[in-house]
Structure 1
Amino acid sequence: MSMEQVKIEASAPAAASRPRRRRSQRLAERTLALAGFFAAWQLIAMSGAFTPVLLPSPMAVLQAGWEMLLSGALLPHIAASLARVCQGFVLATLIAVPLGIATGWSARTGNFIEPIVELFRPIPVLAILPLAILWFGIGEASKIFLITYGSFFPIFINTIAGVRFVDPVYVQAAESLGATRMQIFRRVVLMAAMPDIVVGLRLGLGFAFLTLVAAEMIASTRGIGYLIVDTQLTFQTDRTMVAMLLFGFLGFFMSMLLLLIERRLLKWKRGLASRH
């Protein structure tokens, strides 16, 4: 066995362990940041600078959340909000991704679709809310429509960008191998655009949660957004903060789920990057 082979074999485990060390370090830093945030919050609450109505301590919020969970008051709100977010987000994805692909792939299609989308994109969700009630009433349909509207645009824009800005080298290589236009579209463009599409999905999911608060203000009796408004009106600030933190945890969990799906779908990209 040559010295070069020995060096390569010895360096392989070290190279494989580097990503694990980086992940561990990243996790430790993020955990430390969160611990520091909650510790600072606890100290400020204990200082007496604010009354518990204005700023309850993290322990008071945790206790309120535990009581709500044990009483069964929390789970129906979580289930209602998750159902609305999932329905609105899936509907937005089913509309935005095909439209974005068609717009990015065909300039003529883009000439028809993009002006209409750009006309509505600056209009905020709250401005659409009265129309949503007028069109769909105060039931679930209006809430899902608003969530779909809010999450549509980032998915659509990122899908267009992913399709339009595919590296020309990939397309030229496929053409030189005799690939047809449809084969290039399916096997090159869609695969290369996938990272941007997934980024759009993660952004769209964030907008879905942002829109959920406005959507659940429409004559709701269940949902985390409704819980925020209801507890705020009765000055139950600890329960209000439970609902706010729930938004953060649920959004984080669903974003991590999308990230795991992205890693499974884009294994080829990581493998390609590791060769360079």
Structure 2
Amino acid sequence: MVPELPQATPVAEPTSTRDGIPGVYRAFSIALFVLLWHVISVANRDLVHFFDPILIPGPVEVYQAGIEFSKSGQLQRDIIATVYRVVAGFGLAALTGLLVGVAVATWRPLAVLFEPVIELLRSIPPLAFLPMMVLWFGIGEASKIAFIAYAAFFPMFITTLEGVKFVDPVLVRAAASLGAKPMHILRYVVLPAALPGIITGLRLALSLSFFVIVAAEFVAADSGLGFMINDARTFFLMPQMLLGAIVTGIIGFLFNELFRLLEARLFRWRKGGRT
């Protein structure tokens, strides 16, 4: 008679650093920042008078400006315009950055031909090309989308290139020894192994897209959050300027959280995922 072996007790996985109490800490830090902002605004208005009170509106004034713009529908229109441009430009950059990055990483002649040019262009600040984008594509949506795509292309390209180039060669040789064809190795071995770097590139490209869209909407736009900020500057409306900046930051934060959740779902084997 074979004795029964005791069953192993399942070990609980460590709690993610973004769950439970750490989430409360994050909310507390934001609340503390808003409180500090309110205190500085009130102190400047009633005690210190270091700046003109108009220049440092408090969170209450910004909130009231948001309510007014929401009632008129202007805030919603500006948000939709900005998000549309960011998604279109980011999507174009993600697709081209992924394809070019994989091609340059896997085909040596293409790397010799294009990598120096891309590295040269990457060193030029994207804002330097904004006036030319307007002249080339006009003041419509095409210039803004092209500008975002140009700026967001480089982080996507670099992370894809590095991710594919530094895939463990043991994995590639193992797949080849089993008879896998080059395209199958690329699809089932190289790209999955490079996926963490690609996801990181997507997050970096998205952040940069929100960074440059404000500048693009400064120059040639009649809608969008950047236009809201620039229009408020013309009329010296500080609450409206801060409202546009804060809403842009909130939208960027929400998009980044979506990518973080996607990353955590794709890479469940990594405890806690990336931050």
TM-score (norm 1): 0.89
Whole-angstrom CA distance in 2 between matches of 1:223 and 1:125: 20
Q: CA deviation at 1:146?
A: 0.6
Q: CA deviation at 1:239?
A: 1.0
The residue correspondences of 1:13-24 to structure 2 (distance < 5 A) are 15-16=12-13, 18-19=14-15, 23-24=19-20
For the Cα contact (< 8 Å) 1:154–1:200, is it kept in 2?
yes
Match of 1:258 in 2: 259
Identify the range of structure 1 (70-79 vs 152-161) with the bigger mean alpha-carbon deviation: 70-79
The residue correspondences of 1:20-35 to structure 2 (distance < 5 A) are 23-35=19-31
In structure 2, list runs of 5 or more residues that go unmatched.
none
- The runs of at least 4 consecutive aligned structure 1 residues that moved more than 4 Å come to 1-4
Please report the RMSD computed on the Cα atoms of aligned residues, expressed in angstroms. 2.1
TM-score (norm 2): 0.89
* CA gap 1:47/1:146 in 2 versus in 1, 3 angstroms: same
Match of 1:202 in 2: 203
The residue correspondences of 1:69-88 to structure 2 (distance < 5 A) are 69-88=70-89
Q: What SS does the corresponding residue of 2:78 show, helix, strand or coil?
A: helix
Match of 2:39 in 1: 43
Whole-angstrom CA distance in 2 between matches of 1:53 and 1:147: 33
The residue correspondences of 1:9-158 to structure 2 (distance < 5 A) are 9=9, 11-12=10-11, 15-16=12-13, 18-19=14-15, 23-48=19-44, 49=48, 50-158=51-159
Whole-angstrom CA distance in 1 between matches of 2:158 and 2:6: 49
For the Cα contact (< 8 Å) 1:143–1:218, is it kept in 2?
no
Q: Between the two proteins, what is the percent identity of the paired residues?
A: 42
In structure 1, list runs of 5 or more residues that go unmatched.
none
Q: CA deviation at 1:253?
A: 1.0
For the Cα contact (< 8 Å) 1:56–1:238, is it kept in 2?
yes
* CA gap 1:22/1:148 in 2 versus in 1, 3 angstroms: closer
Q: CA deviation at 1:22?
A: 5.5
Question: Residues 130-180 of structure 1, C-alpha deviation per residue, up to 9 Å, x if partnerless?
Answer: 211221111111111111111110000000011011122322332343323
Aligned length: 265
Q: CA deviation at 1:86?
A: 0.7
For the Cα contact (< 8 Å) 1:150–1:207, is it kept in 2?
yes
Q: CA deviation at 1:20?
A: 5.4
Q: What SS does the corresponding residue of 2:155 show, helix, strand or coil?
A: helix
Higher helix share: 1
Q: CA deviation at 1:4?
A: 5.1
